Amino acid sequence: MKILVAVKRVIDYNVKIRVKADYSDVDLSNVKMAMNPFCEIAVEEAVRLKEKGVATEVVAVSVGPKAAQEQLRTALALGADRAIHIETNERAESLAVAKLLAKVVDEEHPGLVILGKQAIDTDNNQTGQMLAALTNLPQGTFASEVTVDGDKVNVTREIDGGLQTIALTLPAIVTTDLRLNEPRYAKLPDIMKAKKKPMSVKTPADYGVEMASKVSLLKVESPTERKGGIKVASVDELIDKLKNEAKVL
Partner 1 sequence: MSILVLADLHEDQLTGATAHVVAAAQLIQNNTGGNIDVLVAGEGIQAAAEAAAKLDGVTKVRLADNAVYANQLAEPLGALLVELANDYTHVLASTTTTGKNVLPRLAALKDVSQLSDIIAVDSADTFKRPIYAGNAIATVKSGDALKVITVRSTGFEAVGANGSASVETVDTVVGNRQSSFVKAELAQSDRPELSAAKVVISGGRGMGSGENFKLLNGIADKLGAAIGASRAAVDAGFVPNDMQVGQTGKIVAPDLYIAVGISGAIQHLAGMKDSKVIVAVNKDDEAPIFQVADYGLVGDLFEILPELELRL
Ligand X SMILES: Cc1cc2nc3c(=O)[nH]c(=O)nc-3n(C[C@H](O)[C@H](O)[C@H](O)COP(=O)(O)OP(=O)(O)OC[C@H]3O[C@@H](n4cnc5c(N)ncnc54)[C@H](O)[C@@H]3O)c2cc1C
Ligand Y SMILES: Nc1ncnc2c1ncn2[C@@H]1O[C@H](COP(=O)(O)O)[C@@H](O)[C@H]1O
Chain residues binding ligand Y by CB under 6 A are 6-8, 36, 38-39, 42, 61-64, 92, 94, 97, 115-116, 118-119, 122, 124-128
Q: Which is nearer to ligand Y, 55 or 188 (CB)?
A: 55
Q: Which of 62, 71, 88, 126 forms a contact with partner 1 (CB under 8 A)?
A: 126
Q: How far is the CB of 120 from ligand Y (least distance, A)?
A: 8
| Single-letter code of the amino acid located at 2 | K
Q: What is the dihedral of CA 215, 115, 42, 35, to 10 degrees?
A: -20
Residues 57/109, Cβ–Cβ less than 8 Å: no
Single out the residue of 127, 100, 115 nearest to residue 40, CA to CA.
Answer: 115
* Piece in contact with partner 1 (CB under 8 A), picked from 42-50, 105-113, 185-193, 221-229: 221-229
Residues 140/112, Cβ–Cβ less than 8 Å: no
Q: Which is nearer to partner 1, 33 or 178 (CB)?
A: 178
Paired sense of beta strands 172-176 and 112-116, if any: parallel
Q: How far is the CB of 7 from ligand Y (least distance, A)?
A: 6
For residue 31, state whether it binds partner 1 (rule: CB under 8 A): no
| Single-letter code of the amino acid located at 52 | K
- Alpha carbon of 195 to those of 30, 51, 68, 199: distances in Å? 24, 21, 14, 9
- Among positions 177-196, residues that touch partner 1 (CB under 8 A) are 177-179
Q: Which of 4, 39, 157, 181 forms a contact with partner 1 (CB under 8 A)?
A: 157
Q: Which is nearer to partner 1, 80 or 174 (CB)?
A: 174
